[in-house]
C-alpha cells in the first residue's frame, strides 16, 4: 500500500479540446492487467471536448458547475453536481462546461486492450452542436 505521488496539472491539447481544460490524474494503471483511469477535469465556461468515443465506455461525475453533454443525434443533457452520466462503449459524444459557468467532473474509464485505442478522437464540435441544433 502506498500514497500516490501528486502529478502536476496539465492543460489538455487544442487538437482535442476547445477553450481551457485542465486535467489532474487520480488513478492510473500500475500493474499488469489493471485498466482503470480516473482524473479530475476542469473546464472554463464554454470549453469543450471534440467529438470522441471510448472503447469501453466512460462514467463522468460532475462535482462543480454545470456540465453539458451531447450526442450525435443532437441530444443535449445538462448535468449538475452530484449527478453521474454514463457513455456506453463506442458512443460518439462531447462534454463541456455549460455557457457562463466553470465545470469540474471526475472521469472514470478503462483503458482499451491497446491503451492507444481507449479514446477515439474526432473533429471539433460546432457552436450548433454545443447548442443542440
- Extents of the domains making up the chain: 10-131
The model's pTM? 0.91
**Per CATH, domain 10-131 is 3.40.47.10:** no
Written as tens digits, the pLDDT of the chain (133 aa) is 889 888 899 999 999 999 999 999 998 888 888 889 999 999 999 999 999 999 999 999 999 999 999 999 999 999 999 999 999 999 999 999 999 999 999 999 998 888 788 999 999 999 999 988 8
- Cα dihedral 99, 63, 86, 35, rounded to 10, equals 120
The answer to whether 78 touches 98, Cβ cutoff 8 Å, is: yes
Grid coordinates representing 96 are: 463541456
Amino acid at each position: 500500500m502506498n500514497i500516490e505521488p501528486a502529478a502536476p496539472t496539465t492543460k489538455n491539447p487544442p487538437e482535442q479540446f476547445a477553450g481551457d481544460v485542465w486535467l489532474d490524474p487520480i488513478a492510473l494503471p500500475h500493474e499488469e492487467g489493471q485498466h482503470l483511469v480516473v482524473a479530475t477535469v476542469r473546464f472554463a465556461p464554454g470549453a469543450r471536448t471534440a467529438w470522441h468515443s471510448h472503447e469501453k465506455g466512460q462514467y463522468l461525475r460532475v462535482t462543480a458547475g454545470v456540465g453539458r453533454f451531447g450526442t450525435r443525434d443532437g441530444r443535449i443533457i445538462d448535468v449538475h453536481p452530484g449527478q453521474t452520466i454514463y457513455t456506453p462503449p463506442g458512443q460518439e459524444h462531447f462534454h463541456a462546461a455549460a455557457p457562463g459557468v466553470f465545470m469540474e467532473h471526475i472521469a472514470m474509464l478503462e483503458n482499451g486492450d491497446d491503451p492507444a485505442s481507449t479514446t477515439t478522437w474526432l473533429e471539433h464540435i460546432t457552436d450548433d452542436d454545443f447548442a443542440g441544433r
